Structure 1
């Protein structure tokens, strides 16, 4: 099974509700989706949701990286030699992790198809399903309470609340939601780098003093501030998760070495795909640090890939893979399926995806 062509396209999917964090506000998911064609007529699907404020990637940069630099190096390569492909992919150019992730996902999809095995089983097969949280966008306390109660009615038992825009208001937001949902729901917070270290410690102590029972707090300080993240971790009782700081294997190695966090959030678009995400999970397991599998605002292509590692690896104990249910429609045929807060893996080889509806090929961008 050899690579003959890489087709580059995109989908644009409106969200059910505006997505708001301390970093950005979004009304639709704009996802680059590629198709890697082979001489056996098998197709591998991969995706890259450009997220400039986190990964530094735009649609144009992803397309250019695949078309001009990464893609041409892969034409003619045999899917059987996946280690060689991944070595060349990593060495093809610096950064551009989202573009690399799209290629990586499609290659693994084909590798699973070649060997007739679902990716979650290839990665270990620890579980065939998982529970995901639902993200509540940062808004007024009243709006966030309404959204949280709706999520509870839909069957969600874990809520990820976006905070980080104003520490005093964040306390009011979380307190109001805890009072509204009671103690039956797990609450985790994501500050998206919105606090400075001392502000984070003061705010988290307030959460603790109020008995709000926060499961963990994600990325309270700037991504580059490893020392600040460690300061927060060392001075609060609540578990602290690294997200934007835990970009790829090198950054995670440094975080683990410093003991700068209690938990790691793995995302394929940060890591550059499944190959490096596996390295992160294995490092974390060696250090006894549990992981969460996260996602960007993306289609079910990326969610199916991320879920494959989450289901395969025991050390990934939490899932924040709700992006597909935030979308107003689902153009992806096959892949994982959702039932309330449960994600179920496909037993079809690879990602289990057979087609992308409303996929728009980007003219003159294919790689042959």
Structure 2
């Protein structure tokens, strides 16, 4: 086992931490290397490593199996592909029965599959067989998640496992030396209380950022055969609502996005979904249901009558519903209409579906 590390300085954020970590991993550059991130915080770090090494980026979705009456105590972990890693000592000590273990695993397996679908979409997991797999997180605290991740990628066929993090406790090699062939860390400060204390910005990594980074690393192509891709300002009930209209050549229908809980047309998650729909031949309109002046008032976010009324008006302007010629967006004239609603936007979509 090979270990690297140095003296400590703070990281500005996960991106900087990833760049500094990547500088210690240059010896792993090669066609057989795969970078596997632990979502969510490990993804921005791993994205920098993958870019520096020119390696593919994937995720390792893990769910802890908690003791039924003490869920914070892990008795094992599960990963994709039916992989399961158990801590027999904890199971015996906690007197967990086979039936209890099966019930916990059933529940956590459903959540694991949900999260994997959310993050990976229709991309298959990377093939790890016979490859060098670099497991990356934003830091090590207890090491239980990292231990499970290393064992899981090993069970998926990794020939060599490297555990790489920006920061970890001084004794991390003693805790994790047996699960990886190589341990790489930028800094191992002491005393060590929490990972976040060593980052100037340790704000939560949102799902939208995870989706964006995975899409960029995967080289998702832009929408094919785009006939129209332009910004719109839609006058509705005395206000102007900004939107982005994309119409592929030969579009078969148009999907209007109704964002909820303050999300808007710039949401990486919604843009990722829209790009996928564009590639399948569907036009999309992403627009903001609220103006910038209205967004700070949270009451507007939950005013379904307001949101639904605006969504209905926009749908009519697309020419996908009844309305005069002066209300039609020419590029979508006569196209069948679909609504994509999220959060309170889903309620607005139901309102519009009923209205039309």
TM-score grouping bracket, smaller chain normalisation? under 0.3
- Computing the radius of gyration from Cα coordinates, the structure with the larger value is 2
